[in-house]
Amino acid sequence: MKLNVGLLGGGSWGTTVASITSKNSHTTIWARNEETVREINEQHTNSKYLPGALLHRDLKATSSIEEAVSDADVLVMGIPSQHFRSVLREAKPFIRPWIPIVSLAKGIELSTKKRMTEIIAEELPGHPAGVLTGPNLAKEIHNGQAAAAVIAMVDHTIAKKLQPVFSTGLFRVYTNNDVIGCELGGALKNIMAIATGMGDGANAGDNTRAALITRGLSELTRLGTAMGGKRRTFAGLAGMGDLVATCSSSKSRNHHVGFEIGRGKSLTQIIEEMNEVAEGVKTAKVVMELAEDYKVDMPISREVYKVLYEGNTVIDAFKGLVKLESGSEQEPG
């Protein structure tokens, strides 16, 4: 029997996932914009966020949260992290008891420093909470290019049940029970993508990018394991895989932000010109607080924060990293 999937959020990744699940399950996507809803229903496209992409013909869209979630057997949250809680509260009266809730967001709530599954546990206790994450650039998946992701749930049985909901021939979904590690990998790599973007925008070169990616992996693994994630998770799709894709691709929003900063644009101008959220911009703030809370040194994240919020230049950031004393690669740091 096909499950009913309710998906909240009509951005590029939310729409992509909804189109994927429509192949396997009855899927209804919610978007606030009436024009987006009408376009999905009538033309099977979402030209604002996925220009040129044809969505699955069975995908249904609505501007009513109640319609999207009231019959859902699984709820998917394609909402940016800073609006995640408010939209979940809006949906709460219509959500059936005990259904799984899966987050697509790759960020951390600024005001509470909480992950999205922690927000789900607070707002809807008793609902199994998980995350779908990995190296997933929406436009490539819509172009029919192969990709892989991870569905992370504490309960392996539920993860196995949800695996076929999100899987297609060219989109392979693996399971993982390390929800903390998978969520943190997705959130923290965005800061590293801004760093590599800055380097690319300033023509720092391929060697610099490679160094930032590998030292960035070490950095996010240190904080991720201190917060309860498993080390091996950060070597997998949710860690290294997502990090490489986001740090190397011009399709990445966070890399784009860094790239434009590297070319000399202001953060304000860059954000104004974008029609989607680059999660790493906000995550850079909260990660500095988490690094202090857990007493973890995060030099790359610190330099990115200084560029974003303290007026430092990209040159200042690279000077700051070069001045650091080099330790052993086998030791933390």
Q: Tell whether 333 is covered by a domain.
A: no
Q: What is the DSSP letter of 80?
A: -
- Specify the 3-state DSSP secondary structure of 70: coil
Say what the pLDDT of residue 232 is. 97
Q: Tell whether 331 is covered by a domain.
A: no
Q: Does one domain contain both 210 and 119?
A: no
Q: Does one domain contain both 198 and 316?
A: yes
Number of domains making up the chain: 2
Say what the pLDDT of residue 168 is. 92
Q: What average pLDDT does the segment 252-280 reach?
A: 92
Q: Does one domain contain both 75 and 116?
A: yes
CATH code assigned at 262: 1.10.1040.10
CATH code assigned at 33: 3.40.50.720
Q: Tell whether 242 is covered by a domain.
A: yes
Q: Does one domain contain both 164 and 243?
A: no
Q: Does one domain contain both 163 and 199?
A: no
Encode pLDDT of 178-206 as tens digits. Answer: 999 999 999 999 999 999 999 999 999 99
User: Mean pLDDT, the chain, as a whole number?
Assistant: 94
Distances (CA, A) of 290 to 134, 188, 256: 22, 11, 25
Domain ranges, residue 63: 4-177
Q: Hey, which residues are catalytic here?
A: 189
Q: pTM of the predicted model, to two decimals?
A: 0.94
Encode pLDDT of 162-185 as tens digits. Answer: 999 999 989 999 999 999 999 999
Q: 177, 212, 242 — which closes off a domain?
A: 177
Q: Tell whether 327 is covered by a domain.
A: no
Q: 144, 177, 210 — which closes off a domain?
A: 177
Q: Tell whether 329 is covered by a domain.
A: no
CA angle 31, 85, 304 (to 5 degrees): 95
Q: Does one domain contain both 66 and 198?
A: no
- Specify the 3-state DSSP secondary structure of 332: coil
Q: Tell whether 328 is covered by a domain.
A: no
Encode pLDDT of 14-49 as tens digits. Answer: 999 999 999 999 999 999 999 999 999 999 999 999
Q: 124, 149, 177 — which closes off a domain?
A: 177
Residue in 289, 292, 296 with CA at minimum distance from that of residue 220: 296
| Known binding positions for sn-glycerol 3-phosphate | 106, 134, 189, 242, 252-254
